[in-house]
Structure 1
Amino acid sequence: MCGRYAIDAEVNDMIIEFVLATGQSPHDWRPGWQAEQVFRPTDPVPILIETLVDRKDPEGPTQRRAEAAQWWLTPSFAKELRGKHPTFNARSETVTELASYRGPVKRQRAVLPARGYFETQTEGKTKTPHFVQAPEGPLFFAGLYSWWADPRKPETDPERWHLTTTILTRPAIGDVAQIHPRTPLCLPADWIEEWIDPKQLGTAEFVASALAASDPVVRGLRFGPAPANRA
């Protein structure tokens, strides 16, 4: 599971570079978080996405951008913004089967950049918080996004629409398997474009390919004590 993760100045700079490359202004999307920050479920978090200009034309032009999304995916058919069942993580093994995710995984996939994430190791009654990160460079979590329209607001109200997201998880391998059986699906950097490409249909086979590509990244993850003021 991934219930808290952090960005730092390097990750923030990488997101800004992505934004500038799309022609956006960093001020168009950043909702006031700091260069170094810890995110928790339901917080607004930065996601990198690519969307079809015309959703009815899956082979048409696309547009990349960074957005702020609620870290708690709300499917379009939901009756409320935050349901009682947690949706900030989605298991990669079943993401193409479950109703909440099988729609978004087809063409609404996101990347969530991070410095690392927090995980608690439980041994008996002892709980030890750890911070998990790559030896060098940021992590790129595979995610999904979904737009939810508040039925209580009129169609002309700009606050009617809410962008939401989730992080895919996978079985842990390597050192991190010592502290928890699950870990975020961490993509290699050269998979970012492929993962967010809406022209690529998100089938079970495609998700399996992303899972296999993530193996070297996950095996290389390292962990240490979580800073007391950040855990």
Structure 2
Amino acid sequence: MCGRLVVPNTLDELLSVFDAVGGDFHNWSPSWNIKPTQTIPVVIHSAKGTADTVRRVEPARWSLTPSWSKELKTKFPTFNARSEGITEKATWRGPVKTHRALIPATGYYEWQTDPATKKKTPFYIHSATDDVLALAGLYSWWKDPVKTAEDPTPWTLTATILTSGAVDELLHIHDRNPVPLPRDWWDDWLNPDLVGDQHFVDAAIQAALPVAARLDIVEVAPLPSGDDGADLIIPAAID
């Protein structure tokens, strides 16, 4: 599972890292505590208003809503997508084919539960070098059926993060982890001309294993729901 993201980068930094030309991303502020349904930056390669496809960084609602859904809010959580059997699920089948995204983040939070006391301890799992990770994701454009053609904002970009069974190095924290793709996979994952299937997803999972195995794990203090800032990733004082 991946339920809280850390994206401390500016838009210009993200554009540089992913060699993107831009996008309709305004008023972005770095954040150390992004929750599902909030706005995250996503990297996509698609056309928008022109015939040419380009790589862009766009704001997306972190929880994918299928294009055929009548409501933006889904009946079940969609901020993560299990990679196993992903093409068998109606929600993910279409996006896997051509609507794949990279989700920038330097890390994410995960909670370890003590089986005896049920106490949950948060950990910050992140790039050891603080480089931007490219988490494999999917996206979908959702059109509000209530809004008229004259409304300037009928469309909402939504996205999800793929997860796989946790690598051994992370298994003691949680049994699943997001899929951090190596740089040599970025182009293919974003390429809408490559039609994705289960074999393609499985290959991406295998390519991500060495990256996931190198992530650092740091225990941090409890995360207040509304707090934000770089102090949230400071290692907790251990008694």
TM-score under structure 2 normalisation?
A: 0.86
The superposition leaves residues 171-228 of structure 1 with CA deviations (integer Å, 9 ceiling, x where unpaired) of 0013211110000011112211111110111111110110110010111122111244
Is residue 118–residue 226 contact of structure 1 (8 Å, CA) maintained in 2? no
Aligned position for 1:49: 44
CA distance in 2, matches of 1:179, 1:72: 23
Percent identity of equivalent pairs: 41
**Aligned counterparts, 1:156-171, within 5 A:** 156-171=150-165
Is residue 21–residue 54 contact of structure 2 (8 Å, CA) maintained in 1? no
4+ residue runs of structure 1 moved beyond 6 angstroms?
none
Report the residue type matching 1:16 in the other structure.
L
Q: Which of 10, 29, 42 is 1:34 aligned to?
A: 29
Q: How many residues align?
A: 222
Q: Tell me whether 1:99 sits opposite 2:98 in the alignment.
A: no
Q: What secondary structure sits across from 1:178 in the alignment?
A: coil
TM-score under structure 1 normalisation?
A: 0.88
* Cα distance change of structure 1 residues 18 and 157 upon mapping to structure 2, 3 Å threshold: farther
Q: Tell me whether 1:14 sits opposite 2:13 in the alignment.
A: yes
Q: Which of 77, 80, 87 is 1:86 aligned to?
A: 77
Structure 1 residue 29: Cα displacement = 2.8
Aligned position for 1:131: 124
CA distance in 2, matches of 1:13, 1:116: 19
Report the residue type matching 1:14 in the other structure.
E
Structure 1 residue 39: Cα displacement = 1.1
RMSD over aligned Cα atoms: 2.2
* Cα distance change of structure 1 residues 51 and 95 upon mapping to structure 2, 3 Å threshold: same
The superposition leaves residues 101-129 of structure 1 with CA deviations (integer Å, 9 ceiling, x where unpaired) of 10011000000010100000012212111
Report the residue type matching 2:108 in the other structure.
Y
Structure 1 residue 16: Cα displacement = 2.7
Q: Which runs of 5+ in 1 are unaligned?
A: none
Aligned position for 1:176: 170
Is residue 11–residue 28 contact of structure 2 (8 Å, CA) maintained in 1? no
Q: Tell me whether 1:196 sits opposite 2:190 in the alignment.
A: yes
**Aligned counterparts, 1:111-126, within 5 A:** 111-124=102-115, 125-126=118-119
CA distance in 2, matches of 1:179, 1:153: 44
CA distance in 2, matches of 1:199, 1:53: 16
Structure 1 residue 36: Cα displacement = 3.9
Is residue 42–residue 71 contact of structure 1 (8 Å, CA) maintained in 2? yes
